Structure 1
Amino acid sequence: MTTPPERLQPLEITQQEHRERRARLSALLQARGLDAICVFGPTRVAYLSGFHFAATERPIALVITAQETSAALLPRLEELHFQQQSPEITDLELYAEYPGGGEGRHPMTVLRGLLARLGLLGKRLAADVDGYEHRWGYRGPPLSEALGQPVLADVALVDDLRMIKSAAEIELMRVACEWGDHAHRIMQDAIHIGADELLVSHGASLQATREMLQALGERYVPKSREGLPANAMFIRGANTAFPHGLHRQGSVQAGDVLVTGAYGTVGGYESELERTMHVGDPTPDFERYFAAMMAAQQKGFDALRPGRTCAEVETEVRAFIRDDLGLDQLVRHHTGHAFGMEGHEHPFLDLDDHTVIQPGMVFSIEPGLYVPGLAGFRHSDTLLVTETGSQLLSLYPRELAALCLPG
């Protein structure tokens, strides 16, 4: 694979863009008559600051004011890590450990002290969620209880800013798509009669990751402690009739239906690619359902364009499956979802999501048909909404002839 010189050097969001994101959030706070926001969600913290971290029982919070000042609550063990990734945010309030590390102060008490120092107690405060999430044994009060005052809890204050991707975000997702496609190719080439789905999946992911790191070199900047930069997997047989079926014992057999998934992660951003495949000569039933799934996905491609609502896209796809294909009883989920830093993000291509689609949004298109006792049929692709329609970012072959394996 080639990496044109005009591409991002390195492959990550710049501190300037993070600064601009915080400024947009501050402007939104002003417009809403709010004085500050406490952000607890790890992905939202990373989006606003560039600080990617392993979320544990130790609360981390970013405080952003309407006057464009920022501060962070951190456990002491993250101080140097934060300074390395987010050097522009220098006002740090540190605590020893959770639940107190011998200091007798719960982290939410320390956060209250930070807000007091910033002159924000009693002011109009918002948060993405009302306190730190209960994970890894964490126990603590809601933010509103710790402060003794109302807090406007609204994830949309940050997440709505994430809906429309910047040029840099789109470039990271393009590169992620390239390597997700490549991981899928390695996996497809490795699948054969008698192959174990777990071993093939992990082997292909590791090989693709090796090639990705070699090709991108120092341009690639890891943003997580877990997982691989390039990933591919598949499930097989009647197990595919479950939209989120798990791996099972046994090996690939002639006549198996496979539903695959592959993605890359670059600069904290993901891609999405899924394919329905067949081992050996497909049966007439398989060909019929495969063709129906392909037609439904194409309807989704055509329906995704700016100015429409997510519900209108879903309505059009569902009407096609119901009225033209007569297969509405085989639908188990909506047509797709936005994504970027997370595998699923707001908004959703769903009958009850009336968000207006805008250029710069990125969606999966993945209407599925699930035939009990036979198989599931689902392709998923990554699409960028353009000024006039949409553009495929995942470019893996979709046609049946390219997805049949030797049997």
Structure 2
Amino acid sequence: MNKKAIINQCMKENNLDAFLIYSPENRYWFSRFHSSMGYLLVTKNKTYLFLDSRYITMAREKTDLQNIDVLEGFGPNIWHRISDILKAEKISKIGFEADWLKYQEVLNFKKQLKIEDLMPVDTSKWRMVKDDWEIKQIQKACAITNQVYEDVLGWIKPGITEKALARFVSDAFLKHGADKLSFDTIVASGINGSKPHAVPTDKKIVEGELVTLDMGCFYNGYASDQTRTFLMGNEFNNPQLSTIYNIVYEAQSLGISMVKAGQNAGDIHRAVWKYIDEQGYGQYFDHGLGHGLGIEIHEEPYESSLSQTILQPGMTITVEPGIYIPGVGGVRIEDDLIVTENGYEMLTTSPRKLIKVN
């Protein structure tokens, strides 16, 4: 289903005459044009993209603008212009993104548009299934991520700090053609590995420690997200770390093997958690198994104990179990996949088995 059809279906289900899109993420998804500010108005007849003076020239020069019938610059009179369109097309009921607009903004919309029937609508599932172009951008972002991990393994050595590794990762992504990082790089060495979203510190990485590296990038506005945990040196300074690495590896393998169209995302999470719990570590795996990724690093579908989402071909998801033991350390392994009719396609291809960096 193309993007206009997705919004038309949403309008039909909610008995709407039009939809006013405000979030930069949904505007980019629909039009393929980045802007921090703008309004996208979708009616039953046309689509209108309104941009201010910072963006309008770039948009007019863009050769691959998608799904836009009318492109206009705007200034202080934007609300008069939108009101004129609503009157001309006899629009009385408008939808807006429930998870984006603040209450005060909704009141302002009502006042400026002189319309009372504004309906908040959950739009979080609009972007779940990617089209071919979107998948290609995510594939490229993941390919860059694979290259960066190779660079890391060739560069890292004992004595380097977590912050220095994070800086190296940032530079490497730009060198390989990424737009920017998709999130702040997570580096967690030694006992810091017990913190799932650890912030890099001045701590030096030493032999015998596990190092968890969670990183990703944007390419043409679409994200990658990969986590690897590797051993600095040849021998573990705590044999329990070897045990939990093997458990997480097998747990992730189980989760990946269950990915296919028609599968309940929540069932995958529950099966993986059960496996980890049977090994005696269930209390140390306390986050969802994974999430969708695309224009945002975390988006639908989510794989958690509460999820009832049925996987569909074209969904891009992560599978990322972890075990985190305070005072000991932790392990997380994360990959990006595309759901297919009969299973999945791996996007992140860096080695999943334990690597010992000498």
TM-score norm. by structure 2 comes to: 0.88
Per-residue deviation, 1:167: 1.9
- Secondary structure at the aligned position of 2:230 is classed as strand
- Secondary structure at the aligned position of 1:261 is classed as strand
- The one-character-per-residue Cα deviations of 1:84-131 (angstroms, maximum 9, x if unpaired) are 3438443425115xxxxxxxx7xxxx3364133332676121011387
1:152 match:
119
2:241/2:330 contact within 8 Å kept: no
- The one-character-per-residue Cα deviations of 1:185-242 (angstroms, maximum 9, x if unpaired) are 11122111111222233234323432x34xxxxxx8x5xxxx3599965232222211
2:272 match:
317
CA distance in 1, matches of 2:99, 2:112: 10
- 1:192 and 2:157 aligned: yes
Letter in 1 for 2:120: A
Letter in 2 for 1:162: R
1:231/1:262 contact within 8 Å kept: yes
- Secondary structure at the aligned position of 1:292 is classed as helix
- 1:270 and 2:228 aligned: no
1:49 match:
31
- The one-character-per-residue Cα deviations of 1:371-401 (angstroms, maximum 9, x if unpaired) are 011112100000111111122111100111x
2:245 match:
290
2:262 match:
307
CA distance in 2, matches of 1:270, 1:332: 24
Structure 1 48/275 Cα, relative in aligned 2: closer, same or farther at 3 Å?
A: same
- Figure out how many residues of one structure are paired with residues of the other and give that number: 351
CA distance in 2, matches of 1:312, 1:229: 28
- The one-character-per-residue Cα deviations of 1:319-346 (angstroms, maximum 9, x if unpaired) are 2222x21211101201001111111111
Q: How does 1:167-246 map to 2 (within 5 A)?
A: 167-210=132-175, 212-213=176-177, 227=180, 234-246=187-199
1:184/1:262 contact within 8 Å kept: no
Structure 1 133/196 Cα, relative in aligned 2: closer, same or farther at 3 Å?
A: farther
Structure 1 144/368 Cα, relative in aligned 2: closer, same or farther at 3 Å?
A: farther
CA distance in 1, matches of 2:71, 2:129: 29
Letter in 2 for 1:118: L
Structure 2, unmatched stretches of 5+, are none
1:63 match:
41
- Secondary structure at the aligned position of 2:212 is classed as strand
- 1:94 and 2:63 aligned: no
Given candidates 57, 67, 75, the residue that maps to 1:80 is: 57
CA distance in 1, matches of 2:268, 2:173: 34
- Secondary structure at the aligned position of 1:177 is classed as helix
Structure 1 197/130 Cα, relative in aligned 2: closer, same or farther at 3 Å?
A: closer
Structure 1 361/131 Cα, relative in aligned 2: closer, same or farther at 3 Å?
A: closer
CA distance in 2, matches of 1:245, 1:345: 21
- 1:334 and 2:277 aligned: no
2:12 match:
30
CA distance in 1, matches of 2:253, 2:48: 47
CA distance in 1, matches of 2:110, 2:99: 7
2:225/2:318 contact within 8 Å kept: yes
- 1:382 and 2:348 aligned: no
1:165 match:
130
CA distance in 2, matches of 1:121, 1:377: 58
1:130/1:151 contact within 8 Å kept: no
2:95 match:
126
CA distance in 2, matches of 1:142, 1:313: 43
Given candidates 179, 199, 202, the residue that maps to 1:249 is: 202
Structure 1 245/228 Cα, relative in aligned 2: closer, same or farther at 3 Å?
A: closer
Per-residue deviation, 1:143: 2.9
Letter in 2 for 1:153: P
1:21/1:48 contact within 8 Å kept: yes
CA distance in 2, matches of 1:395, 1:44: 29
Structure 1 368/131 Cα, relative in aligned 2: closer, same or farther at 3 Å?
A: closer
Q: Once the two structures are aligned, what percentage of the paired residues are identical?
A: 22
1:294/1:379 contact within 8 Å kept: yes
2:22 match:
40
Per-residue deviation, 1:40: 0.8
- The one-character-per-residue Cα deviations of 1:303-323 (angstroms, maximum 9, x if unpaired) are 22221211111121122222x
2:158/2:205 contact within 8 Å kept: yes
RMSD after superposition = 2.7
- The one-character-per-residue Cα deviations of 1:151-191 (angstroms, maximum 9, x if unpaired) are 121132xx423111112222222221111011111112211
